[in-house]
Amino acid sequence: MPRSSGPVDSPARLSLISRHLAPDYPLNTPYTVERHPDNIDTSLLPKTQTRALTTDTTPANMSTQPEHPTLLIPGPIEFDDAVLNSMSHYSESHVGPGFVAVFGETLSMLRKLFQTTDPSAQPFVLSGSGTLGWDLVAANLIEPGEDALVLSTGYFGDGFADCLKVYGANVTQISAEPGSRPQLPEIEKALSEKKYKLLTVTHVDTSTGVLSELKNLSELVHRVSPDTLVIVDGVCSVACEEIDFDAWKLDGVVTASQKAIGCPAGLSISMFSGRAIQAFQNRQTPPTSYFASMKNWLAIMQNYEAKKPSYFATPSPQLVRALHTALTQIVAQGVKERFAAHKAASDKIKAAVAALGLKQVAANPDDQAHGMTAIYLPETVKGAELLPKLASRGVVFAGGIHKAIAAKYIRFGHMGVSVLDPSRGHVEKAIKALEEGLSECGYQKA
Amino acid sequence: MPRSSGPVDSPARLSLISRHLAPDYPLNTPYTVERHPDNIDTSLLPKTQTRALTTDTTPANMSTQPEHPTLLIPGPIEFDDAVLNSMSHYSESHVGPGFVAVFGETLSMLRKLFQTTDPSAQPFVLSGSGTLGWDLVAANLIEPGEDALVLSTGYFGDGFADCLKVYGANVTQISAEPGSRPQLPEIEKALSEKKYKLLTVTHVDTSTGVLSELKNLSELVHRVSPDTLVIVDGVCSVACEEIDFDAWKLDGVVTASQKAIGCPAGLSISMFSGRAIQAFQNRQTPPTSYFASMKNWLAIMQNYEAKKPSYFATPSPQLVRALHTALTQIVAQGVKERFAAHKAASDKIKAAVAALGLKQVAANPDDQAHGMTAIYLPETVKGAELLPKLASRGVVFAGGIHKAIAAKYIRFGHMGVSVLDPSRGHVEKAIKALEEGLSECGYQKA
């Protein structure tokens, strides 16, 4: 990939390459004239911690993790053993050749997860929560006083709007009733009335389980307001819902490590289009964050992917190694197969929920997420009564968090190994616990 | 601790308490009226992953980690086995009672590490790199147009100044020559000339190994400019250099997980005084960051410490568990004993460096850090030549990163288990490798 050809806004810090060497590894610093030949003696590189990588979706062996309640909330999710083992990798330098190679591969594999082959697209992996992705968008892709159109399908859409406002954007928000999503005609009307720098949409709002439709939405934006950047909050969708970054002409997808990607929490993960990077580079004013500034991170990410050590702030080698393991599994399985597996599990779960006589928060089947299900409780049952009964059966669901309906529903997350590894039996266990728990609460299907 | 009495700037988000329940755990949400009795049935709580906690500083057994090069850079550092094992803790809800208790204890233990018993002091633990601590200060404790005085002893002092500027502060910087630090008379002069909202000082600048003196500095500030907040960048000092938060009247110390605290990278850790929190609460303008906003985090941290589940952005249960294990060990040993052990190891290392006829970047012994040593190379030896020779002996040192002298020195980090667990033999191994490596480069003591 021709990564060195682009116009890189090279910050002064970029040049500060830490050199924790690295046997015979090419130095990458402006402060020394020495350059090593490319004959890297790999025998001197840190030994890789070799642990079995579980890429088979139906392993014969059970998990090696201690017995524990099955976590079926919409993130964090249950982890694959190999991913979890990567978290306790021995300490290594963040600019040493072993870690640099792993980080570089991680960034390259993200391109496959997002289905982008456009070399101008740029992945970022930063230490932080998923929320940091909002700051990355708000501090770099829009300038104070510019307009943003936020489509909200719940708590997290509202949060993205709040974040944009903090950074000085003028936010117009189209919010749907809980359980539904803004419709294309009203979005088209809004786009026609004002020139928006960017539009944001929450692919799956974790508070409602409402799935937004990206393909038609992006087509609409490109037709009606072609300069508007299409930004997706994919925290609860990346790695379980289809996202075709190039084909759908998306400009940004921000997500986190702890949901369908199946890595422990602690990483903000994102992909931006060449057009989005250009918008950042064309800013009239400097980015309004330091830690979330693309000015500080862009060249660092490009260097890591080119396997060159580079420093702005210390990444977490353990979390990045875990992400590397998770992405290796995802790529080995194939992303389309992964999406299909999540859809199949979701269909089964939604059928079971309907069979229990329960309704979903997302009323329209087309609006229902495939990695989680937000389930309305029977009128006679309270979440505070039901959830402990599930917990006593070893199943952890989440309560509601959408302000308007919080006490009326519960959330069942079904992502990653819990649906990809049938031998774990998580889905069946959860459905059975739900049936029995409701029954114990006195509920009987009408 | 009376945490509920303070005037909390309660953001709307605070109320959004996720309830991934949690057998019979008290609900904490405004959306339900149910309240559970306090009879938490702990038999239903997730089982704790029991692994031996190594608090003994001289364990009889060797590390269980695979053989790997000894990482002696000034962070990340080598890890204790128990800390590393905590990283692969099975998945758990970030608002479940097991994790909430661990996070709460972690925050409370930070008070002991910083030696503060003042209930108005407030710890923060956020997902992010150490650099995020600068944003936390710059976005919350100073408003655009206000003045900051930055004392710089190297690369990281300059970075803190850059960050403050991004957030609109007017920065006056006092920079010392590489290897020295700004002196009190010139600081007093600056403080007398202008009213600064805050002063920042890098306790140990990782680029130079220069140690700044905090006690006398803080006394000076409180005498000459009592309203000025005293903010310390303690990334390379917390848990290896004495910091007496209350006695020295500090207003903020920001640090990271991966240095002397001995936890993998990925957490921004900080402590702020009641006076600093008051300065935040008295802002005329809102905080200029979202992810780094105290408005979003303050109540969350207070809730976690009170063992109440609370949500703004998902923390990393694995990293927080590892930090909990690290802090449990630190508190068990006693912080003063820990500081003394680092000083003793540092004295030994600095004597060995002198015996080799080498000079330190920090010329004055009083200005020399105790968790790292920045060593000038002999004129005839280049870092790019020496570092691989150390690596071939299983020792990883870091190159120089201070722009003015980068090629002329190397950095030796000596923090955490590498100095606290003599059975590992890291210090002796490093000194021997340095001797042999220099010799192989043709260096002989004059």
pLDDT value, residue B50: 43
* A318 interaction partners in chain B (CB closer than 8 Å): 87, 264-266
Strands A70-71 and A395-396: parallel
**E strand or H helix at B163:** helix B155-166
Asked if B67 lies within 8 A of A47 by C-beta distance, the reply is yes
Q: How close, in Å, is residue B189 to chain A by CA atoms?
A: 30
pLDDT at residue B233 above 50? yes
**E strand or H helix at B232:** strand B229-233
Q: How many CB atoms lie within 10 A of CB A307?
A: 17
Q: In what order do the strands lie in the sheet with B372-376?
A: B372-376, B409-413, B398-399
Asked if A166 lies within 8 A of B314 by C-beta distance, the reply is no
Contacts for B2-7 with beta carbons within 8 Å, 24 or more apart?
A: B2/B119, B3/B119, B3/B302, B3/B305, B3/B306, B4/B306, B6/B120, B6/B277, B7/B281
Asked if A289 lies within 8 A of B385 by C-beta distance, the reply is no
* A383 interaction partners in chain B (CB closer than 8 Å): 19, 21, 32
Name the residue in chain A with its Cα closest to that of B33. A407
The residue of A16, A20, A434 whose CB has the most chain B CBs within 10 angstroms, and thus the best one to mutate to test that interface, is A20
Q: Where are the alpha helices (DSSP H) in B361-443?
A: 383-391, 417-420, 426-440
Which of A20, A93, A388 is opposite residue B24, by nearest beta carbon?
A388
pLDDT value, residue B38: 34
pLDDT at residue A88 above 90? yes
Q: Where are the alpha helices (DSSP H) in B214-360?
A: 215-224, 274-281, 294-305, 317-333, 335-355
pLDDT value, residue B55: 42
Bin A239: left if φ > 0, else alpha if -120 < ψ < 50, else beta: left
Asked if B400 lies within 8 A of A31 by C-beta distance, the reply is yes
Rounded to 10°, the helix A317-333/A97-113 angle is 40
Q: How far apart are CA A84 and CA B144, in angstroms?
A: 43
For chain B, what is the mean pLDDT? 89
Q: Residue B342 — pLDDT band, cuts 50, 70, 90?
A: very high
Residue closest to A137 by CA, chosen among A205, A213, A201: A201
Residue B191 phi/psi, 5° resolution?
-65, -30
CA angle, residues A5, A10, A14, in degrees to nearest 5: 115
- In total, the C-beta contacts within 8 angstroms joining chain A to chain B are 326
Q: How far apart are CA A85 and CA A321, in angstroms?
A: 10
pLDDT value, residue B63: 83
pLDDT value, residue B445: 85
Percent of chain A residues topping a pLDDT of 70: 86
Q: How far apart are CA B238 and CA B204, in angstroms?
A: 9
Asked if A94 lies within 8 A of B132 by C-beta distance, the reply is no
Q: What is the DSSP letter of B183?
A: -
pLDDT value, residue B58: 36
Q: Beta partners for A149?
A: A172, A199
For A225-278, write each residue's pLDDT tens digit.
Answer: 999 999 999 999 999 999 999 999 999 999 999 999 999 999 999 999 999 999
Name the residue in chain A with its Cα closest to that of B290. A163
DSSP output for B342-362: HHHHHHHHHHHHHHTTPPBSS
CB B179 within 8 A of CB B411: no
For A302-334, write each residue's pLDDT tens digit.
Answer: 999 999 999 999 999 999 999 999 999 999 999
Name the residue in chain A with its Cα closest to that of B163. A290
For A120-136, write each residue's pLDDT tens digit.
Answer: 999 999 999 999 999 99
Asked if A388 lies within 8 A of B22 by C-beta distance, the reply is yes
* B90 interaction partners in chain A (CB closer than 8 Å): 65-66, 68, 78-79, 84
Q: Residue A445 — pLDDT band, cuts 50, 70, 90?
A: confident
Asked if B92 lies within 8 A of A68 by C-beta distance, the reply is yes
Q: What is the DSSP letter of A374?
A: E
Percent of chain B residues topping a pLDDT of 90: 85
Q: How close, in Å, is residue B343 to chain A by CA atoms?
A: 23
* B388 interaction partners in chain A (CB closer than 8 Å): 21-24, 44
User: Rounded to two decimals, what is the model's pTM?
Assistant: 0.90
Q: How far apart are CA A191 and CA A171, in angstroms?
A: 13
Q: Beta partners for B255?
A: B269
Which of A29, A311, A314 is opposite residue B265, by nearest beta carbon?
A314
Q: Residue A392 — pLDDT band, cuts 50, 70, 90?
A: very high
Query: Which range has the worst mean pLDDT, B18-32, B187-201, B241-255, B266-280?
Result: B18-32
Q: Residue B166 — pLDDT band, cuts 50, 70, 90?
A: very high
Name the residue in chain B with its Cα closest to that of A84. B88
Asked if B314 lies within 8 A of A76 by C-beta distance, the reply is yes
Name the residue in chain B with its Cα closest to that of A44. B392
Name the residue in chain B with its Cα closest to that of A67. B47
* B400 interaction partners in chain A (CB closer than 8 Å): 19, 31
* A127 interaction partners in chain B (CB closer than 8 Å): 127-129, 132, 265-266
DSSP output for A290-326: STT-HHHHHHHHHHHHTT----SS---HHHHHHHHHH
pLDDT value, residue A42: 36
What residue type is assigned to position A222 of the chain?
H
pLDDT value, residue A173: 98
Residue closest to B254 by CA, chosen among B119, B150, B73, B126: B126
The residue of B34, B63, B127, B321 whose CB has the most chain A CBs within 10 angstroms, and thus the best one to mutate to test that interface, is B127
Q: How far apart are CA B109 and CA A185, in angstroms?
A: 55
What residue type is assigned to position A75 of the chain?
G
Say how many residues make up chain B. 446
pLDDT value, residue A21: 38
Percent helix, strand and coil across chain A, each rounded to 5? Answer: 35, 15, 50
Bin A109: left if φ > 0, else alpha if -120 < ψ < 50, else beta: alpha
A57 versus A170: the higher-pLDDT residue is A170
Q: What is the DSSP letter of B177?
A: P
Percent of chain B residues topping a pLDDT of 70: 86
Q: How close, in Å, is residue B174 to chain A by CA atoms?
A: 20
Asked if A264 lies within 8 A of B91 by C-beta distance, the reply is yes
Q: Residue B372 — pLDDT band, cuts 50, 70, 90?
A: very high
Asked if A382 lies within 8 A of B311 by C-beta distance, the reply is no
Q: How far apart are CA B95 and CA B112, in angstroms?
A: 24
pLDDT at residue B326 above 70? yes
Asked if B75 lies within 8 A of A401 by C-beta distance, the reply is no
For B40-96, write each residue's pLDDT tens digit.
Answer: 333 334 444 544 444 444 344 568 899 999 999 999 999 999 999 999 999 999 999
Name the residue in chain A with its Cα closest to that of B15. A403
pLDDT at residue A159 above 60? yes
Which of A93, A163, A388 is opposite residue B73, by nearest beta carbon?
A93
Name the residue in chain B with its Cα closest to that of A399. B19
Q: How far apart are CA B293 and CA A209, in angstroms?
A: 27
* Chain-centre distance for alpha carbon B242: 13
pLDDT at residue A61 above 70? no
Asked if A265 lies within 8 A of B315 by C-beta distance, the reply is yes
CB B212 within 8 A of CB B156: no
Buried b (16+ CB within 10 A) or exposed e, B153-165: bbbbbbbbbbbbb
pLDDT at residue A6 above 70? no
Q: How far apart are CA B27 and CA B34, in angstroms?
A: 7
For B12-45, write each residue's pLDDT tens digit.
Answer: 344 344 334 333 333 323 222 222 333 333 333 4
pLDDT at residue A437 above 80? yes
Which of A78, A128, A392 is opposite residue B127, by nearest beta carbon?
A128
Q: How far apart are CA B144 and CA A11, in angstroms?
A: 23
* B51 interaction partners in chain A (CB closer than 8 Å): none
Asked if B69 lies within 8 A of A75 by C-beta distance, the reply is no
Asked if B19 lies within 8 A of A401 by C-beta distance, the reply is yes
Which of A65, A167, A291 is opposite residue B128, by nearest beta carbon?
A291
pLDDT at residue A301 above 50? yes
Q: How far apart are CA B177 and CA B405, in angstroms?
A: 11
